[in-house]
Amino acid sequence: MTFSSSRYSAMEYRRCGRSGLKLPVISLGLWHNFGHVDVPENYREILFTAFDNGITHFDLANNYGPPPGSAEENFGRILHNDFRAHRDELIISTKAGYTMWPGPYGDWGSKKYLVSSLDQSLQRMRLNYVDIFYHHRPDPETPLEETMTALDLIVRQGKALYVGLSNYPAEQAARAITLLRELGTPCLIHQPKYSMFERWVEHGLLDLLEQQGVGCIPFSPLAQGLLTDKYLNGIPQDSRAAKPHGFLKEQDVTENRLQQINALHGMAKQRGQTLAQMALSWLLKDPRITSVLVGASRAAQLRDTLQCIKAAPFAAEELTAIAAVLAK
- Is the peptide bond preceding residue 66 cis, with omega within 30 degrees of 0? yes
How high is the pLDDT of residue 307?
97
- Is the peptide bond preceding residue 287 cis, with omega within 30 degrees of 0? no
Q: Which stretches of the chain are assigned E, i.e. beta strand?
A: 13-15, 22-24, 26-29, 57-59, 91-96, 130-135, 160-166, 187-191, 215-216, 292-294
Output the CA torsion 132→309→39→81 (10° steps): -50
Q: What are the residue ranges spanned by the domains of the chain?
A: 13-231+283-312
How high is the pLDDT of residue 253?
82
The residues that bridge with 294 in the sheet, in sequence order, are: 28
CA dist 115 → 97, 139, 220, 297 (Å): 11, 15, 27, 31
Chain centroid offset of residue 1 CA:
26
Chain centroid offset of residue 18 CA:
20
Instruction: Tell me the Cα Rg of the chain.
Output: 19
Cα 167 to Cα 205: distance, rounded to the nearest angstrom: 11
How high is the pLDDT of residue 246?
60
Please list the pLDDT of the chain residue by residue as tens digits (328 residues). 789 999 999 899 999 999 999 999 999 999 999 999 999 999 999 999 999 999 999 999 999 999 999 999 999 999 999 999 999 999 999 999 999 999 999 999 999 999 999 999 999 999 999 999 999 999 999 999 999 999 999 999 999 999 999 999 999 999 999 999 999 999 999 999 999 999 999 999 999 999 999 999 999 999 999 999 987 876 666 555 545 556 666 777 889 999 999 999 999 999 999 999 999 999 999 999 999 999 999 999 999 999 999 999 999 999 999 999 999 8
Residues in the chain: 328
How high is the pLDDT of residue 247?
61
Q: List, as own/partner pairs, every contact residues 75-81 make where C-beta atoms lie below 8 angstroms and the sequence separation is at least 24, other chains included.
A: 75/30, 75/34, 75/47, 75/125, 76/124, 76/125, 76/126, 76/127, 77/126, 78/43, 78/44, 78/47, 79/125, 79/126, 79/127, 80/126
Give all strands of the β-sheet with 26-29 in edge-to-edge order. Answer: 215-216, 187-191, 160-166, 130-135, 91-96, 57-59, 26-29, 292-294
Cα 137 to Cα 154: distance, rounded to the nearest angstrom: 17
Q: Which CATH superfamily is domain 13-231+283-312 in?
A: NADP-dependent oxidoreductase domain (3.20.20.100)
The per-type count for the chain, helices as H runs and strands as E runs, is 10, 10
